[in-house]
Structure 1
Amino acid sequence: MGSLPLFFRLMAASISGQARYPASALLLTVGQFLGTGIEVIAVWALFHRFGEVQGWAIGEVALFYGLVNCMFAIADALGHGFDVLGTEFLRTGTFDRLLLRPRPLALQLMGNDVRISRLGRLLQGVIVLVFATVQAGIAWTPGAVALALFALAGGVALFLGILVLQGTLSFWTVESLEIANVLTYGGVQAAQYPLALYAQWFRRVLTFIVPLACVAYYPALAILGKPDPLGAPGWVGMVSPLAGFVFLAAAFGAWRIGLRRYASTGS
């Protein structure tokens, strides 16, 4: 069996295992939907109180929110194996079992535990996108749809790269979850709002170090047909999602360095 068919089989086995307890899976999914729904209420309350924030309306910000949460939901579902690498694989010694299999480690970890519950966040992101379409009057032309899908793929690659880096840190620290949360959940929070609202140093971080602006801010501007207040040309949003794939490639480069450092527990 090839690597890709094996990945889909592992993914199907993971989903099937969770589906054996449908009530639990449903409650976890609803919990994700309601838990992240608090963030939606917070954004709505902000704009309900002030109307606009530096010229940005709620429908425009809803587009950022919807795109980013869809990206993170998919990446979080696929990258959970990297998330728990230190606690569930390295510490227990079961990582050696994956090394013995003649298949890519990344695919094994991604297919190990695909979380159904992340559908709750994904559904919420889609609902917010519908809201943004109505509020901002977005015209979903074929070009806009293609750009949104391109941005979604780049965003999934970016967040997956962050999870890969989290797993890589586990080769040195075992416990690296709180460090990575600054980039994962903190990154989701930061990318939910337009880049122009932040200080210059933070804009540079979100553009050149962890390129969240490249997968959310610039593509969203192109979809909205809105000029960038910071002066970036309109074509930037058409190509900027590529930064997500570059970040993922760099993360896997660091992953290979971490693998060379790994020593078995001997158990």
Structure 2
Amino acid sequence: MGEGLAVRARLRPYRVVLAARASSQASYRANFVLDLISSLLSAVVELAEVWVLFHAVTRLGGLEFHQILLVFGLADLAFSLADLVFGHCDDLPAYLRAGTLDVFYLRPQPLLLQLVTSDISLRRLARATVGLVALGAGLAVNDVTWGVGDVALLGVALVSGWATFAAMFVLAAGLQFFLVDGEEMTSAFVYGGRYAATQPASVWSRPLQAVFGFFFPMAFTGFLPTLRLLDLPAPAWLPTWLAWCGPLAALWAWAMALLCWHWGVRHYRGGGG
């Protein structure tokens, strides 16, 4: 009981800050609604791109549209929830260039936790809604033989997928201590990884198989769980039993992310102001 109260006390400053940020956004209702609509439309356009692609072909990488819809839903929902929590790590380059990151060092809280809770964009909930709808539709139109293992795999896939994408945001932030103006480069594997995760990994070239199959384990977020849930044939290099290894993929991603983050923090010497 005492430990629980202590943890709650430590987390209270973060809850207060996030609640204040959320309240300030909701207070400007017209602007908030426009933000939600723009975020929703951008997510719908990405889903429409998949539909247009499969409107031209009946199968891609051995999957039909109703099957790839499940891949998209799993990966996009996991990414959207990670973006909601960790997406503000993208703001780190601005703090570094302005020298305002030094303010974070004045507070008695971990630097990464301060960065993650420095803001919250409620508009990103609209994007998560599209992923949730796509996932629900994918589960409805596909013939899934539901059992305890299938339900467990679905939960494991969503949680480990969220953790994997969250690690990608932290990894990209850690690299900014060295790159400063390298947002475009890091976006290539964060947002490019999200795009890769929503596509059938069976069509990837060998370099992409190495990069987004194992180094950045995007195939574990949507493609592999879908193959396992639907009992579909898998590429020789990605057997379906790997779908249960999503937590290991997330641990690998976080090991890289935290190593890069701590390396970057030790490298940082202040804004010089």
User: Residues of 1 paired with 2:31 and 2:240: CA distance?
Assistant: 46
Residue 40 (structure 2) aligns with: 33
The CA distance in 2 between the partners of 1:155 and 1:198, in whole Å, is: 19
Offset of residue 152 of structure 1:
1.8
Once the two structures are superposed, residues 146-176 of structure 1 have per-residue CA deviations (whole angstroms, 9 ceiling, x without a partner) of 3222222222222222221222222122222
Q: Which consecutive residues of structure 1, in runs of 5 or more, have no partner in the other structure? A: none
- Are 2:50 and 1:43 equivalent residues in the alignment? yes
1:102 to 98, 103, 108: 108
1:228 aligns with 234
One-letter amino acid of the structure 1 residue matched with residue 122 of structure 2: I
| Residue identity matched to 2:172 | Q
- Is 1:59 equivalent to 2:66 in the alignment? yes
Give the match for residue 265 of structure 1. 271
1:93 positional shift: 2.4
Structure 2 letter corresponding to 1:258: G
Report the 3-state secondary structure (helix = DSSP H, G, I; strand = E; otherwise coil) of the residue aligned with 2:123: helix
Look up the equivalent residue of 1:137 and give its one-letter code: D
What is the distance in 1 between the residues matched to 2:52 and 2:241? 33
CA distance in structure 1 between the aligned counterparts of 2:105 and 2:198, rounded to whole angstroms:
38
Where does residue 170 of structure 1 map in the other structure? 176
Report the more deviating stretch, 103-112 or 150-159: 150-159
Offset from partner CA, 1:36-72 (integer Å, 9 cap, x none): 2112222112222322224311111011111111111
Question: Partners of 2:59 and 2:111 in 1: how far apart?
Answer: 47
Contact kept? 1:214, 1:237, Cα under 8 Å:
yes
TM-score normalised according to structure 2 size: 0.89
Structure 2: distance between partners of 1:139 and 1:23: 45
SS for the counterpart of 1:114 is: coil
> How far, CA to CA, are the matches of 1:73 and 1:97 in structure 2?
29
The residue number in structure 1 matching 2:121 is 115
User: Could you tell me which residue of structure 1 aligns to residue 208 of structure 2?
Assistant: 202
For residues 260 and 50 of structure 2, the distance between their equivalents in structure 1, rounded to whole angstroms, comes to: 36
Counterpart for residue 17 of structure 1? 24
Pairing of 1:232-251 with structure 2 (within 5 A): 232-251=238-257
Partner of 2:158: 152
Q: Distance in 2 between matches of 1:191 and 1:214?
A: 8
Which stretch shows the higher mean deviation, 192-201 or 60-69?
Answer: 192-201
In the aligned structure 1, how far is the partner of 2:117 from the partner of 2:211?
A: 31
Whole-angstrom distance in 2 between the partners of 1:197 and 1:84: 34
User: 1:254 corresponds to which residue?
Assistant: 260
Find the aligned partners of 1:64 and 1:199 in 2 and give their Cα distance. Answer: 19
State which of 58, 63, 74 in structure 1 corresponds to 2:81: 74
* Cα shift readout 1:81-134 (whole Å, capped 9, x = no counterpart): 3101111x2222221221121111121111111111111110001111122123
- Tell me if the contact between 1:155 and 1:244 (Cα under 8 Å) persists in the aligned partners: yes
Assess, with a 3 A threshold, how the Cα gap between structure 1 residues 145 and 13 changes in structure 2: closer, same or farther: farther
Q: Aligned in 2, Cα 1:14/1:147: closer, same or farther, shift over 3 Å?
A: farther
Alpha-carbon distance in 1 for matches of 2:112, 2:9: 14
Aligned residues: 266
Q: Could you state the TM-score of these two structures normalised by the residue count of structure 1?
A: 0.91
> Cα 1:258–1:2, aligned 2, differ >3 Å: closer, same or farther?
farther
